[in-house]
Amino acid sequence: MSRRPYLRKIERHWWLRHRRYVVYMVRELTSLFVALYCALLVDGLVRLAQGQAAWEGFVAAISSPLGVLFQLLCLVFATFHSITWFAVTPKAMPVMVKGEAVPPWTIVTAHYAVWAALSLLVLVAAGV
Amino acid sequence: MNETIALEVLRYNPDTDREPHFQRYAVPYRDEWVVLDALTHIKDQLDATLCFRWSCHMAVCGSCGVMINGEPKLGCHAFLRDYRNGVVRVEPLDHFPIERDLVIVMDDFMAKLSSVEPYLLVDAAKPLGEGEHLQTPAELNLFKQYAQCINCLLCYAACPQYGLNEGFVGPAALALAHRYNLDSRDTGKDRRAEVVASNEGVWECSFVGACSAVCPKGVDPAAAIQQTKVSASLDWFKAFLLPGGRK
Ligand code: SF4
Ligand code: FES
């Protein structure tokens, strides 16, 4: 009787083994597009500061078919990211009222409500 | 009623085997049998050398965790009827060294569990004469769910972060730390923070959420970890950014 513990290596494609790991990987990927879109917004600000010509160039670039396609892609990924994030918010931020947990759906719904309100605010501010 | 069901069990004998291999057994099929019953049948009737852990047969002791068709489960909590007409593959829990057959080495977890001091820490013990430490149902509700952990380690087997970095303190230990941090009688939060809020503590977690999906006791370690991240960040802000903060 000897001890010789055997450690099995984790497979390289471990995340293909179960749906929940695939969903996780997709979600991680979507954050890349969220970050890219943030970079685009920052770039827009920089161009704005550089004056009218730079700004108009920026607007022309994002209105081109390629620019629109990129933004659509970002929108899809950001939406996926937000929906999956909202779905887990009750875990990260449970709310207790009078010693009882507030039902998770209330917290999720509150997030959607804030999202809708902020979007509306942005649309109004943009004069749409 | 001679129906049988095939079990493929991962075998590893440190004395004779270079590496683990699967062995197939045909076990009588019974509607009311769980995988643990099938393993017991093998050991009693077919092959006494098969080695596995169990004790309570009722999802309480936490010793019978195995991978069943790739999913971490309690052997006593997984019915054969859910695998009828297929093969049941039984392996030791992922991410842990195999001691023998289905038995894993859990020293790493035990060390991590003690590192978070999962018991009441009290700065100044109240003299006995002053009576019990009372707790209201509301205060109990704050942590009750996290107190249900049976240390079965299914969550560690499900967690890819633990698989990729064995330094990670891991779901159950962090959930138990959270359980005591939330306890109104406990004052050990800052002490536990050294482990819990370290890089290999909650910050190693990228919220895959698999731990909570496989937990047989509804502990939801993923929730405990995210809440700990929130509270650790708040503590950090308080300590470093607010005037008169700690440290
Ligand atoms: S948190 Fe759940 S899965 Fe993890 S050890 Fe505890 S009871 Fe088992
Ligand atoms: S034998 Fe105790 S939990 Fe399964």
Atom nearest to B221 CA in ligand 1? 1
A12 touches chain B (CB under 8 A): no
Q: Tell whether A59 and A118 lie within a shared domain.
A: no
Polymer length in residues for chain A: 128
H or E segment and range at residue B225: helix B221-240
Domain that holds residue B87: 4-104
Q: What is the CATH number of the domain that holds B61?
A: 3.10.20.30
Q: Tell whether B163 and B44 lie within a shared domain.
A: no
**Strand, helix or coil for residue B191:** helix
Q: For residues A97 and B172, give the distance between their C-alpha atoms in angstroms, rounded to a whole number.
A: 26
Q: Tell whether B154 and B224 lie within a shared domain.
A: yes
A60 class by beta-carbon count within 10 Å (0-12 exposed, 13-18 middle, 19+ buried): exposed
Q: Tell whether A107 and A56 lie within a shared domain.
A: no
Q: Which amino acid appears at position A30 of this protein?
A: T
B111 touches chain A (CB under 8 A): no
**Strand, helix or coil for residue B151:** coil
Q: What is the CATH number of the domain that holds B114?
A: 1.10.1060.10
Contact B219, B145 (CB under 8 A): yes
Specify the pLDDT at position B232. Answer: 92
Q: For residues B203 and B225, give the distance between their C-alpha atoms in angstroms, rounded to a whole number.
A: 9
Q: Tell whether B66 and B139 lie within a shared domain.
A: no
DSSP class of residue B107?
Answer: H
- Asked, for residue B247, whether it belongs to a domain, the answer is no
Q: Residues A36-95: pLDDT tens digits?
A: 999 999 999 999 999 999 999 999 999 999 999 999 999 999 999 999 889 888 888 888
Q: Which residue has the higher pLDDT, A127 or B33?
A: B33
Q: For residues B176 and B228, give the distance between their C-alpha atoms in angstroms, rounded to a whole number.
A: 11
Model pTM? 0.90
Q: Contacts of residue A28 in chain B, CB cutoff 8 Å?
A: 206
Q: Tell whether A72 and A18 lie within a shared domain.
A: yes
- Ligand nearest to the backbone CA of B172: 1
Q: Tell whether A72 and A25 lie within a shared domain.
A: yes
Q: Tell whether B96 and B129 lie within a shared domain.
A: no
Domain count, chain A: 2
Domain count, chain B: 2
- Asked, for residue B246, whether it belongs to a domain, the answer is no
What separation in Å is there between the alpha carbon of B156 and the centre of ligand 1? 8
List, run by run, the mean pLDDT of 10-residue segments along chain B (247 residues): 93 96 97 98 98 98 98 98 95 98 98 97 88 91 96 98 96 98 95 95 95 96 95 88 64
Polymer length in residues for chain B: 247
Q: Tell whether B65 and B124 lie within a shared domain.
A: no
Domain that holds residue A65: 8-80
Q: Contacts of residue B163 in chain A, CB cutoff 8 Å?
A: 10, 14
Q: What is the ipTM of this complex?
A: 0.86
Q: For residues A117 and B210, give the distance between their C-alpha atoms in angstroms, rounded to a whole number.
A: 33
What separation in Å is there between the alpha carbon of B215 and the centre of ligand 1? 5
Q: For residues A23 and A12, give the distance between their C-alpha atoms in angstroms, rounded to a whole number.
A: 17
Question: CA A67 from chain center: how many Å?
Answer: 19
The residue out of B43, B75, B104 marking a domain boundary is B104
Q: Tell whether A65 and A106 lie within a shared domain.
A: no
Q: List the single best residue of A2, A3, A4, A89 to mutate versus B (max B Cβ within 10 A).
A: A4
A13 touches chain B (CB under 8 A): no
- Mind giving me the DSSP string for chain A? -----BPPPPPTTGGGSSHHHHHHHHHHHHHHHHHHHHHHHHHHHHHHHH-HHHHHHHHHHHHSHHHHHHHHHHHHHHHHHHHHHHHHHHHHS--EETTEEPPHHHHHHHHHHHHHHHHHHHHHHTT-
A28 touches chain B (CB under 8 A): yes
Q: What is the CATH number of the domain that holds A42?
A: 1.20.1300.10
Q: Tell whether A18 and A44 lie within a shared domain.
A: yes
Q: Residues A8-23: pLDDT tens digits?
A: 998 889 999 899 999 9
- Asked, for residue A117, whether it belongs to a domain, the answer is yes
The residue out of B86, B104, B122 marking a domain boundary is B104
